[in-house]
Amino acid sequence: MERILYKQLLTWKSQANRKPLLLQGARQVGKTYLVKEFARKEYTDCAYFNFEQTPELGSLFDSSLDPGILIESLGAFIGRKIEPGSTLIFFDEIQAFPRALTSLKYFCEDAPSYHIVSAGSLLGVSVGKTSSFPVGKVTFMTLYPMNFFEYLAALGENMLLKLLEEKKLTEPLPEIFHEKLTRLFKYYLYIGGMPEAVQNYINNKDIEQVRRIQKEILGAYERDFSKYSTPGEAIRVSEIWRSIPVQLARENKKFKYSEVIKGGRASRLETAIEWLRKAGLIYIVYNIKTPKLPLSGYTDRGKFKIYMLDPGLLAALLEVPSQVIILGDKLFSEYNGAFIENYVADQLIGHRYAQDIYYWTSDSEAEVDFVLSIAGDIFPLEVKSGLSGRVKSLRVYAAKYHPLKVFRASPRNFMEDGDLINIPLYAVHLLLYNNES
């Protein structure tokens, strides 16, 4: 399956000052598949080492981290020579052996001719590590679940994908294409972007199998809560995790500690939230009251919303039945639009807005779902799960701050009305690189 991150891997390979690459991401987002495909297409050979499947590999790093000694040992382990430049060295599940992670520093300093990609769950690489981390000696990339455009590519809908990628935001699509994209989008909300679930559906067209895979992934995440945290912290992490669907189902989706556990307070639960964020399982969108650059300077850290990393996993946690896929627009409005807002957050955060996405409130007068910094300007984005044309909060925002454009994401077709641009929900990813303002 094609992934957008592949182009970044090509750029990394061609860099003269290339450092070892650490590819991060939550479990099951497709890191191993992507790197193996990259190696198959771009290198003569791949020296693959999985530290979870083959724990004895760790002994190779016990005595020395000298790259020359390690290359000789690793070559002997796989029974062939590792050639600089033409062999991709792939350290998978590197979090299982911290000294392997530390070794990347010495490869960067003393053996830069070797091409090394390491991959690991954020649960192990980012959370609670005490070993020496190669700060400044590695290039970081993060792989997210498949966005809707990647989903279309996986389905073989290349014509529709090309149509969207070349689309101007101000001109509507022919209705036949809009209707087909809307139908595919409804399936995406249920299936989500976890590659195993997507591939299984492509192969079998069996929604029940998709839900089974989603449940298995959720179960693996919960087992990791205990694996990578203390018993007491694991309980709090689980409490936060299980509360997310309830938090999103409320009309006001602002996170409330009291919804997690009666009498819950920030002092008890905020470290568990940070654990989940570092693990890549949740995204946090903070509140701003004044939209000025840099947006991070006007953040109210006490007010935030939490979104899950994938709409399909959210559907599985909420036990959403598959019938909602075909029941008109019910999926859009179900649970106060929780799926739609979570979906939009996923599409934005899973790209360049990872550290630059907020929401805006003006006391009890108005709330704009997302505020984005694009090319040095600030734009509000309101998300609508239904066909209503009301944009009260956007108008309140526009009257106060006079943005060049205001954006609405809704089930409607592309449309421009004065300063308002409506983007179909399936095309919200276009805001990442196609801004007509």
Rounded Cα distance, 50 and 370, in Å: 40
Residue ranges of domains in the chain, CATH in brackets: 6-142 (3.40.50.300), 148-221+284-432 (no CATH)
Q: Give 338-348 pLDDT, tens digit per residue.
A: 788 999 999 99
Residue 37: CB atoms within 10 A of its CB come to 16
Write the CB contacts of 289 (distance below 8 Å, at least 6 apart in sequence): 298, 300, 360, 361, 362
Question: φ, ψ for residue 157 (rounded to 5)?
Answer: -85, 60
pLDDT in tens, 184-236: 999 999 999 999 999 999 999 999 999 999 999 999 999 989 888 888 899 99
Name residue 167's amino acid: K
DSSP code string of 290-318: S--SSGGGGEEEEEEEEEES-HHHHHHHT
Low-confidence ranges of the chain (pLDDT < 70): 122-132, 327-336, 351-355, 432-437
| Closest CA relative to residue 188, chosen from 20, 434, 437, 428 | 428
Cα(421)–Cα(403) distance, rounded to whole angstroms? Answer: 12
Q: What is the pLDDT of residue 436?
A: 41
**C-beta of residue 197 within 8 angstroms of C-beta of residue 205:** no
| Measured distance CA(170)–CA(422) in Å, rounded | 8
Kindly list the strands in the beta sheet with 139-142, ordered across the sheet, starting from the edge strand earlier in the chain: 45-50, 87-92, 115-121, 21-25, 139-142
What pLDDT is attached to residue 352?
A: 56
Provide the pLDDT for residue 387.
80
Task: Quote the tokens at residue 41.
Answer: 């297409």
DSSP state of 96: G
Is the separation of the CB atoms in 260 and 251 below 8 Å?
no
